[in-house]
Amino acid sequence: MTHPAIAQINYPLIDADQHYYEPDDCFTRHIDPKFRDRAITVVRGQSKFAQVHFMGKRLSFFSAPPGEHAGQPGSLKAFFQNRGGPGALISGKTIPCHEFPESMDRDVRMDVLREQNVQAAIMLPSLAVGVENELRDAGPQTVFANITAFNKWVEEDWGWNYQNAIFSSAMLSLVDIDMAVAELERVIRQGARIVHLMPGPVMGRSPADPHFDPFWARCEEAGVPVAFHIGNGGLEEIYSTPWGEKPRPQHHRMSAFQRVISFAERPVVDTLTALIMHNLFGRFRKLQVVSIENGSAWVAPLLKKMEGTVRLCEPRDFTFGPIHDRPAQIFKEHVSVAPFPEDDLKELISAIGPGRVLCGSDWPHPEGIANPIEFAEGLDGLNPVQLRQVMRGNSAKLLGLKD
C-alpha cells in the first residue's frame, strides 16, 4: 500500500542532502605544487583498505575513505528506525564505490535522479567534511591549498550547477578571512549556489565574530546560503579531553561518552547559538544558513533554552551587541533544517514551521534512505501545500529555482 503522504506527491522532488564518494586524487589532482607534501592523500597497500594520510600520518577521523566499503543506500534504515537487532548497525552487504558508478560519475547519477523523480539535489562530500580540523595544525595556507584543490576537483567532476540538477556545495573555511573571501569569490564566479563551513569555533573565535563579516556580507550579497553538515567539528578535543577521553578519535571508534557530549548535534547547536547570540543575523538580515544531516531533536530544546536565557540578559550581556529579535524568531527567519529522515518530523515542523524543513535523503549513504520520496513517510498530517514546501519548495527557494 502506498504511504498516504507519498500518494499526494505528483511533482519532482528537490533533495537537500545527497553525496558523492571521492576518488583518491580529489585533493591532489589540482594541488598547488608548493603544497604537494601537505596535501590530503589516499594511501593504498598498507592495510586491507585504503588509508587517508596527511603529511605522512594517517588521519584520525577516518579509518578509510568513506566509499571504500560503504553499505548500500538506505541499508541501515531499519536500524535507525529502531527496528534493527543487536549488531544491525554494522551488518549487511557493503560495496566499494568503484563498483558503484552512481556515487562517482555525475552522468550516471543524473540517470538515478531521473529514476528517483528528483529534479535537483544539493551534492556534498563524504570524505572532505572530515579533514579540515586536522589540516588546521599546519596553518591557514595549507588549509586553503587543500580546500581550493578540492573545489577545483568538484568543478571538474561534478560542476557547481550541472544541468540545473546537481548543485555541488563548495567547501570553505574561516581560518583566514582574506583567503576565505578570495575562495568564496572564486567559486561564486564559477557558479556555486551554496557553500559549506565546518561547524564549531574558528581558531579561538566565534564564526559570528565581526572579524568574519566580509565573508558573511559577500554570502548575503550573492544570495548564497551557508551549509553546516555533520563531520569532524573537532569538539571532541575541546569538550571530552578534560574528561580523560582521546582528543581525536576515529569516527567509528568514538567512545559512548564522546558521542553524547561532543559529536553529531553538539557542533551545530553551538554554532547556531553563536550565530544568533553573537548577533550575526542582526548585521545580515537576508543571510540564510542550513543545517544538513545534523538531526533535529535538538531544535525545540535549543529554541526553548535561548528564549529563556534572553529573558535574564541585559544589553551588556551580549558579546557583539543585543540581538534584534527573539531567538526563536531569528532562527525561523534564517535557519533551514534538513533532518535525519528518522527524526520526529512533526515535532520539528511544530518548532519551526513547514517553511524551514528540507527533504534530505543522504543518498547514497547507508544511514540515509534508498529513495528520497521515503522522506515523506514522516510527514503525515501536512496539507498538500505544506508537503510540497518540504519535499521541494523550500530547497528550490534556497537554490534560486522555481517551485
pLDDT in tens, 190-235: 999 999 999 999 999 999 999 999 999 999 999 999 999 998 888 8
Segments of the chain scoring below 50 in pLDDT? 85-89, 91
Task: Give the count of alpha carbons within 13 A of 197, CB side only.
Answer: 31
Distances from the Cα of 300 to the Cαs of 262, 297, 367, in angstroms?
19, 7, 23
Say if residues 302 and 270 touch (Cβ distance below 8 Å): no
Task: Give the count of alpha carbons within 13 A of 156, CB side only.
Answer: 13
pTM (predicted TM-score): 0.95
Exposure class string for 340-349: b at 16+ Cβ within 10 A, else e: bbbbebeebb
Single-letter amino acid code for the residue at 289: V
Residue 75, pLDDT score? 85
Which residue is associated with the grid cell 589516499? Answer: 42
Nearest partner of 228 among 260, 190, 273, judged by Cα: 273
246 backbone dihedrals φ, ψ, rounded to 5°: -65, 140
Distances from the Cα of 60 to the Cαs of 131, 133, 256, in angstroms?
9, 10, 17
Residue 144, pLDDT score? 98
Task: Give the count of alpha carbons within 13 A of 1, CB side only.
Answer: 4
- C-alpha grid cell for residue 28? 591532489
Residue 263, pLDDT score? 75
**Which residues are paired to 52 by β-bridges?**
42
Residue 87, pLDDT score? 45
pLDDT in tens, 154-163: 999 999 999 9
Domains of the chain, each with CATH number or no CATH: 104-399 (3.20.20.140)
